[in-house]
Structure 1
C-alpha cells in the first residue's frame, strides 16, 4: 500500500503543466482529541493521494493543521471526505486570496507531537477556554479602540512584509518566543486593556487566547480565520482594509498581496521590496527578501560565498552539503549577517 510520494517535485510540476487544470490552495485546522494520529495520517494520505491532493498536513493527538492544493474539479469530493470525518464536518476552509497551481508539489502528511510548536504545557490550563472570535468589521472597530492592543502572533519575517496598522509586531523567530514576550510587555494591562490577536489563518490565536486568559488577561479577542478570512470578508462586505502589504504564506507562493503598499525593503540593497526567496545555494537555503535587480546580480543567492558555491559542479556542491543540517536555528530566516539591510 502506497503511503509516500513516488514523484519528485519536478515530475509533479510537469504533470500539473500537462493537466492544464486549475487548483485551489486551501488551509484549515481543527483542535480535537485524536486517539490514533498514525491511523488518521494513513487514512488521509491514501484518500487524498487518490484525489491528487498535494500539501503539508500535521496530525497530532490535539488535532490537525493542513495547507493543501486541491484540483478544482475534485473540490466537492475533497469536501465530502472531510465531512465524513466527524470532527472535520463543516470545518472552516480558508481559500487562498491568490491562487497558484504549484503552491504545493508533494503530499506530506506527518504525525507530530503538536500541530503548532507552541512550547506550552496544555495540562496546566484549559485550552478550550478561548478568546472572543471576531470578524473583519468588529476587528476594524477594535483597531480604532484606544483601550485595545492589537498584537501580531506571527514571526518577524511574516510581519515584516505585512501587518495591520498600529499592531504590535514582536521581533521573534518562533511562535513560542512571542508568548512570554507579549505577556511581559502587557503585564500591567491585563485588567484594563483588550488584548486583540491575529495570525495567518487563526490557528496560533486559538491556543494563545486560552493561554493568555489563563495568565490573567480579562478581555481577550482573536481574529476569526486570521488574515485570510479577514481579507475575504473585507472584499465581500466592502469594508476598509486595515492590513498593509502582503500576507506571508507557507507554500511556494510565499506571500499573498492584500494591499498595494510595499512596507519592506530588499535585504541586499534597501530598495522597496516584499518578495521572499530562498538562497539558491542548497547548503544555505536562507529565506530573505530580494528585489529583481539583486536577484539578477546575485544569481538568487544571499551572499558572494553562496554564489561561488552554486558555480561549482553539482557533485562538488553535494560534497559541501554532506552532513550539514538546514534549520531555522542556524539560518534564522533573514537575520544572517550577510544581509546588509535586514531588519
Structure 2
C-alpha cells in the first residue's frame, strides 16, 4: 500500500486564462503565465510559461506564441494539453523511480458548458491524470479564503480573473445563484490598449498594457494613495517612431470605467436574484473579493459605494482559488459534495 502511495501524486491546478498555478504536497510549486511558444516548422513546444511570455509579441515567422485559454475556457485543445504537460514537468519528480499517476483537481468557471468541461477533463487525462475532479472557481475561492462552505450561511464571492469575472452566492456546499461575465483582466488590458491609441496616438502591446494595469491601474479617478506616474513606451501612430509618454492612475481609471461598470451591474444582478434569507447573511458578512482583479486600486471602494455593503479583499487574492483547490484535493472525502466529475 505504501508503494502504491509512492506512485500516486495529487495535484491541484488553477487553470487560468492569464496564469496557471499548481499545488503539490501542500506547496505552490508552479506559478506561471498560461502561454506556450511553438516552432511553426516542427510544431514542437519551445517554451512554456514565463519563458514563452517573454517571447510573446516579439517572435519571428518561425515561432508562434499561443494562449490556450480564452474567457476562462480552453480555446486551443492541443496547446492546452501541451501546456499542462509542460507545467507538470516543472514539478520536481526527479527523486521518483517511476512516472507517478496523478489525481488532479482542476478549477473551472461556474458558467462553463458540458462541452468545455469535457475539454478540460480530456486535456488533463492526456497530460497523465488517472483521476480528474473539477471544482467551480467561486467555490474554490471561498474555501481558499477560509469560509466554511458547508454552513447554512450565505457568502458572496467575486472572483475577477484574466478571462472571466465569477460572482456567486454560496451556502450548504453549493452555489445558490451565480453570474459569470467575460469582463475581466484581459478586457482591462484591451481597454488600456484602446485608450492609449485613441488619446495618445500610441500603439502598445498586450504586455505593456498589462504592466500599466499593474503599476497604475485604478477603478477610481481619485485615490487615497496615488501611485507615481508610469512611463509607457510604444510606437507613435503619426510618425511611426518609438516614443515615451507618462500616464496617471486617473487616466487609466477613465479607460477602465465602462468595464468596471459591467462588473458592478453583474454584482447587482447576483444580489437581486439571491434568496432573501441569504441576502440577510450577505448584508451581515459583506462581499469577498478574490482574483487578480481584486488588486485594482479603488475597486473595493467603488463596489462598496454601489452596493452599500462592506467589501473584503482576500489576503492573497491571486492565490485564493488555487489554495481552495489544494484544500479540496487534500481532503477529497470532506469536499466530495463540491467536486464535479
TM-score normalised by L of structure 2: 0.29
- In terms of fraction of residues, the more strand-rich structure is 2
More helix by share: 2
The structure whose RCO (Cα within 8 Å, separation 6+) is larger is 2
TM-score with structure 1 setting the length: 0.29
